[in-house]
Amino acid sequence: MFKKILIANRGEIALRILRTCREMGIPTVCIHSTIDSDAMHVRLADESVCVGPASSKDSYLNAQAILSAAEITGADAVHPGIGFLSENAEFAAMIEDHDLTFIGPCAEHIRVMGDKVEAKKTAKALGLPLVPGSDGAVSSLEEAEAVCAEIGYPVLIKAAAGGGGKGMQKVMCRQDLKEALDLAQSEAKANFGQGGVYVEKLLMDPQHIEVQILGDHWGNVVVLGDRDCSLQRRHQKIWEEGPSLIPTLVREDMQALCQQAVQKLGYRNAGTLEFLYEDGNFYFIEMNTRLQVEHTVTEMITGIDIVKQQIIIAAQERLPWTQKEIRIQGHAIECRINAEHPETFLPQPGLVEAYTPPGGLHVRVDSALYQGYRVPAHYDSLVAKLIVYGDTRDECLARLAQALREYAIMGISTLVPLHMRLCQALPVKEGRITTGFLEEFLQSSSAV
């Protein structure tokens, strides 16, 4: 087992990883930027190293400084967390080249799955169904026109290097294609440094369903069930739940296909395969080769510590169970508490004047907030995750509503009031949530 793990991240996810390391008796090193010197992850780590100024590109994305921090402190493994360098194949390779262990998949799998065009080609070869669309990137208007004529409008133009719901353009008819293609290409270039785009059939109101998997170095792959992440704002998830809300037979089919695909790929560590589901069919859209924000939902319904398994796998130990031994029980919901205005969604950094998180049976809060902490403007606005478990979905929702009522965060605006409203919404209560739901809900409630 590792002697010391460097956690190359910040905020709630750094704390999340740190807690498991502690439990496993593994000392931790946290990194931080100058502005984060009194952040919770720094306070709780065994050691900490400042890796640069506030701007992410100079600190949490500064691969060289992070590597030096690992070497100086004698860490023998690096957990990249979520975001930042977690899906950067060069970083993973660089860590391994320096005889440290990257707690994640091999660089090659990160590279293949990081490019969505490559990922779709790979998924197709592995037998996963795809949304109809272009075979690869489209570079000219003629090429795009030919694909669209074949699959039919409306279509979605997406960035090959996309992420975070950015860089997608809906195209309703042929006349709009040229403008949308130009815009998508320039947005892709501006956001992701490369202008490669591809075309997909636009599904009108799908559900976003994803499958959590773990694979070890010995060819064992287990599926830890699925999650429904359809409640999104601008293609970004803000509420996730599991098990997903689609028919059981479809879920079983999807999960069995994922297990086979991941086994064929020889994938190691934690990963998530994302799908869209509509009218009884499911289509692969992408794979995330890292821990996900919403892994907590799966932890609540399986009782499995996914970070612990990531560490075990990276240390080349075997997964401790077979698929048959995985038990999914009850229902869990996660609410992302972003420091954002609950109506405009604009970031709301600032001083946390008072802080009282909820508690009680089956209520989990993953957060690095504390009273007197100043939420910096430089990073992601996710400041807390509230995850609640219930024997049934109804019990889970009732407990969630109660926990949200208790949650007091003063000084900054957060999404807590929005989540409280969502708990009361009829489609949410009835489990009728599609990716278009939130936008409609916000429009109809602002009209009232």
- H or E stretch including 20? helix 11-23
Exactly one of 10, 227, 268, 290 is catalytic; name it: 290
Minimum gap (Å) between residue 446 Cβ and ligand ADP: 21
β-strands 169-171, 155-159 pairing: antiparallel
Minimum gap (Å) between residue 152 Cβ and ligand ADP: 13
The CB density around residue 20, as the number of other CB atoms within 10 Å, is 19
Give Cα separations from 155 to 93, 158, 423 (angstroms).
36, 10, 32
Nearer to ligand ADP, 128 or 276 (CB): 276
Backbone φ and ψ for 229, nearest 5 degrees, come out as -125, 45
Q: Identify whether the C-beta of residue 104 lies closer than 8 Å to the C-beta of residue 289.
A: yes
* Nearest 10 degrees: Cα torsion 19, 236, 193, 114: 60
Q: Binding residues for ligand ADP, per CB under 6 A?
A: 131, 156, 162-166, 200-203, 206, 208, 232, 235, 274, 276, 285-286, 435
Of 410, 225, 413, 426, the C-alpha closest to 329 is 225
Q: Identify whether the C-beta of residue 242 lies closer than 8 Å to the C-beta of residue 228.
A: yes
Backbone φ and ψ for 88, nearest 5 degrees, come out as -105, 105
Minimum gap (Å) between residue 131 Cβ and ligand ADP: 5
Nearer to ligand ADP, 2 or 275 (CB): 275
Of 231, 241, 245, 144, the C-alpha closest to 185 is 144
Q: Identify whether the C-beta of residue 385 lies closer than 8 Å to the C-beta of residue 13.
A: no
Q: Identify whether the C-beta of residue 423 lies closer than 8 Å to the C-beta of residue 394.
A: no
- H or E stretch including 404? helix 393-406
Q: Which two tokens stand for residue 272?
A: 């998530």
Q: Which two tokens stand for residue 381?
A: 């606005």
- Residue 93 burial by CB count (10 A; 0-12/13-18/19+): exposed, middle or buried? middle
Q: Which residues contact 161 (CB under 8 A, 6 or more apart)?
A: 114, 115, 116, 188, 192, 193, 194, 196
Minimum gap (Å) between residue 341 Cβ and ligand ADP: 22
Nearer to ligand ADP, 202 or 403 (CB): 202
Active site residue 268: no
- Residue 448 burial by CB count (10 A; 0-12/13-18/19+): exposed, middle or buried? exposed
- Alpha-carbon span 64 to 71, nearest angstrom: 11
317 torsion bin: left (phi>0), alpha (psi -120 to 50), beta (else)? beta
Residues acting as catalytic residues:
290
